[in-house]
Amino acid sequence: MRIILLLLTIILIFGACSEYPSKVETVVPKLDPVAEQYAVYSVLINQYASDKVLMINNQTTIDNISRRSPEQTFQSYDLTISPEFQVALEDYITKNKEPEQLTQSFNIKADYKLVTKKELQSYSKGQQAFSAWKSTYFAFSRVGFDSEMKHAFVYVEYVCGSLCADGSYRLLTKEDGVWKETKSLSFWAS
């Protein structure tokens, strides 16, 4: 009996001092919100494959043309969004109270240049007409995400000429590590 107690004591002592953890923890890599934001931008830009040089507003923006809120746009489409996208929308609203400077962090197929609003205006008021541009212009809001960063909400302006433009809210979902557009809610165009 003493031998059994001695063996159990030894097993308990060595088991407690073991190098191996008694509980296995799953480590989930933390996603970088800035990297995810640029991944969303890049997916949207790459939809418009172009041989033109792209111009991208160097600062985030919200819709200043129609001044429609996301909620007004949802109503016009008679759309109710899921709870995950509702969280992303709330994050979008919070983040877009102030603009953010963008950097050369886009992963896109075409050449691009970050420009200020003033530079853009000088291009469009120059000697050549806006439609004669050899460029396409994009402007983005900051991206709102749900808590797991699997749902995204963003405002996008796309201009490719005087009668070629669109302003829309875009909803994206991350599937198998890749962002995919789920819904585009266009609310102004020319």
Question: Quick check: is 15 in a domain?
Answer: no
Band of the pLDDT at 109, cuts 50, 70, 90? confident
Question: Quick check: is 75 in a domain?
Answer: yes
* pLDDT value for 2: 61
Average of per-residue pLDDT across 20-24: 52
* pLDDT value for 11: 56
More confident residue, 75 or 35: 35
Angle CA(39)–CA(119)–CA(123) in degrees, nearest 5?
Answer: 105
* pLDDT value for 125: 60
* pLDDT value for 10: 54
% helix, strand, coil for the chain, step of 5 = 30, 30, 40
Considering the chain, what is the average pLDDT of its residues?
A: 82
Question: Quick check: is 97 in a domain?
Answer: yes
Question: Quick check: is 12 in a domain?
Answer: no
pLDDT in tens, 42-70: 999 998 867 677 889 999 999 888 888 88
CB 55 within 8 Å of CB 159: no
- Say how many domains are in the chain: 1
Average of per-residue pLDDT across 7-23: 52
pLDDT in tens, 117-165: 888 777 666 544 444 456 788 999 999 999 999 999 999 998 887 778 8
Give the CA count within 13 Å in the CB-facing half-sphere of 136: 19
Question: Quick check: is 35 in a domain?
Answer: yes
3 state SS of 44: helix
Give this prediction's pTM: 0.79
The amino acid at residue 82 is: S
What is the distance between the alpha carbons of residues 105 and 4, in angstroms, rounded to a whole number? 65
Residues paired with 167 in a beta bridge? 157, 188
Question: Quick check: is 39 in a domain?
Answer: yes
Nearest to residue 140, comparing CAs of 33, 75, 55, 83?
A: 55
Angle CA(174)–CA(180)–CA(184) in degrees, nearest 5?
Answer: 120
Residue range(s) defining the domain that contains residue 121: 31-189
Highest mean pLDDT pick, 30-34, 48-52, 90-94, 107-111: 90-94
Question: Quick check: is 67 in a domain?
Answer: yes
* pLDDT value for 94: 96
* pLDDT value for 129: 46
81's CB contacts (< 8 A; 6+ apart) are 74, 89, 171
Angle CA(186)–CA(163)–CA(110) in degrees, nearest 5?
Answer: 75
Question: Quick check: is 23 in a domain?
Answer: no
Average of per-residue pLDDT across 26-51: 84
What is the distance between the alpha carbons of residues 55 and 121, in angstroms, rounded to a whole number? 12
Copy the structure tokens of residue 157. Answer: 């302006």
